[in-house]
Structure 1
Amino acid sequence: MNLRLIAIGAGVLIILSLPLAGAMAGPDFAGQDDGKGGGLLSTLGLSDPYRPKGKPSPAARPAQPGPPVQPRTDARCGPEVSSQHGVEAQTCVLVGEGSTWGRSYYRNTSGRALDAVLTMMGPAGRTVQIRCVVGPGDEPGLCETPRDDSAGGPEGYSAVAEFAVPDDEGALLLRSGSNSPAPGDG
């Protein structure tokens, strides 16, 4: 019985390898036209798209498009803080492409959903505030204000995130700021 299964398996492997062996037997592995449809690379659709069939590859070819260049973003962040209630956060002011916005990174292991209020304060009394629902779990998340046109340098901005229980009492569990002193700095 086992010998029969081995023979059937070997036969299937031989049948499946025939197309690959035929493609490799072609004289051209670089995808040049040999009158039979090309070599292995051409058969697999990997031939050089910049080379005309039957001609050598040119020394210079157009640059391959790569991933888009990400614009530079500068961040000024306060320290990572945590509470005895299972909430960790770090709040930052971000600046990039003429815009400024606030972002708070968090992790909520308290076992219950929380409310977060992220407030971004800027020059001349400019303030933006956003409320985020912070689900329970060990996965990190973020709360972010909309981006606004920058008015002055990043030092004129600050952000504060407050994490609280979403009930009538609204017990504050953690406050995190972009320019808070590190613990122990006074």
Structure 2
Amino acid sequence: MQRARILRLIGLAGTAVLALAVPLAAATAGPADTLLPPAAPDASRTPGAPAAAGGPLTDLARPLLAGGRTTHCGPELTARPGITAQTCVLTEAGRTWARTFFRNATGEPLRAALTLLHPDGRSVQADCVVPADGTPGECETPDGPTVRGTRLPYGAVAEFSDPAGERLLLRSGGNWVPDGGSSGR
């Protein structure tokens, strides 16, 4: 029991370090290949509607995107079997949702479950189809009203598994604290 607590603390400390290091590294490294599409306005997207998949892999996520949308992403992760993912919490016009960007080069279609965790304890989940063609794809949860005035974060977690959903291959996450919190933007 004590060992589990220590491992959880180490995991949380590692996540906090990554949350600080990734934006700093991105700011100093310049553009990099990433699963995120270019930081251009997505005029055709209404929050909660399916996102357009694909697009060139050109540019690292920016905290503030055109059109007033904010994007808070975790690190881009790659698992040995050939799956790469990056998961984000997005906000726009008082609405919040989660999106995961992925590329599956495993040779077989996979399953993914994307969950948006609200600061008030609620959650929203979307089941995602992850084709095996190796091209970039996206999946997102439905949107909901943004909870403000809390220091608790929104969280987003995408879990990629084998086609039967029996073996976890990759877990990717991101988070964001709404206005009134100590971090975010």
TM-score computed with the length of structure 1 as normaliser: 0.56
Rate the CA distance shift 1:173–1:72 in 2: closer, same or farther, 3 A. same
Q: 1:138 aligns with which of 134, 137, 140?
A: 134
Three-state SS of the structure 2 residue aligned to 1:141 is strand
How far off its partner does 1:71 sit?
2.9
CA distance in 1, matches of 2:70, 2:149: 11
Unmatched segments (≥5 aa) in structure 1: 1-67, 180-186
Q: Return the structure number with greater relative CO, CA threshold 8 A, min gap 6.
A: 2
Match status 1:161 vs 2:140: no
Corresponding residue number in structure 2 for 1:99? 95
Amino acid at match of 1:137: D
Deviations 1:39-94 (A, max 9, x none): xxxxxxxxxxxxxxxxxxxxxxxxxxxxx797321011000000000000000000
Corresponding residue number in structure 2 for 1:73? 69
The number of aligned residues is 111
Corresponding residue number in structure 2 for 1:150? 146
Three-state SS of the structure 1 residue aligned to 2:142 is coil
TM-score computed with the length of structure 2 as normaliser: 0.56
Larger Rg: 1
RMSD across aligned positions (CA) = 2.0
How far off its partner does 1:153 sit?
6.2
Amino acid at match of 2:102: Y
Task: State the identity as a percent.
Answer: 46
Rate the CA distance shift 1:153–1:101 in 2: closer, same or farther, 3 A. farther
